Amino acid sequence: MGTNHPIKPIIFFDGVCNLCNQSVLFVIKRDKKAKFNFAPLQSAYAQQHLNNLDSTAKELNSIVLYKNGRVYKRSRAVLEIALRLAAPWPLLFAFVVIPAPLRDLVYDWIARHRYKWFGKKDECMIPTPQLKSRFIA
């Protein structure tokens, strides 16, 4: 994924989506060991790396997790992220037993309505100076 950043799991998110931005802040608050880095899907970095990894990733407009050379999308990305957060959030990984098509129906329904329900920004979130090192542009 590049030599300028340590190989940490990277959460790619919709940088103009209020729900997505709040989700990133939620993860940061519960990621006590700074296991994750972040990149907006709108960034050149995301476009370049996701297009190289998975031809369908360029069509995504919600959360993607890149970890250990694998791309996780939609509900599986959410569950993989929860698994690596401080307790009690890893318990959510138990939902992995629900077949992915069913989990993704719920995920897609929320994703489809996220701008209407939570709004969107005109531009991507700007991280605070304290968090800037965890964001890849």
How many domains does the chain contain in total?
1
In a domain, 1, yes or no: no
In a domain, 136, yes or no: no
Task: Tell me which residues of the chain have a pLDDT lower than 50.
Answer: 1-3, 5-6, 55
In a domain, 85, yes or no: yes
pLDDT tens, residue by residue, 14-42: 877 788 888 998 999 999 889 999 988 88
Contact between 50 and 64 under an 8 Å Cβ cutoff? The reply is yes
Q: What is the pTM of this model?
A: 0.83
pLDDT at 124: 67
Sheet with 64-67, edge to edge strand ranges: 37-40, 10-13, 64-67, 70-73
Enclosing domain of residue 43: 10-129
The angle formed by the CA atoms of residues 127, 115 and 71, to the nearest 5 degrees, is 65
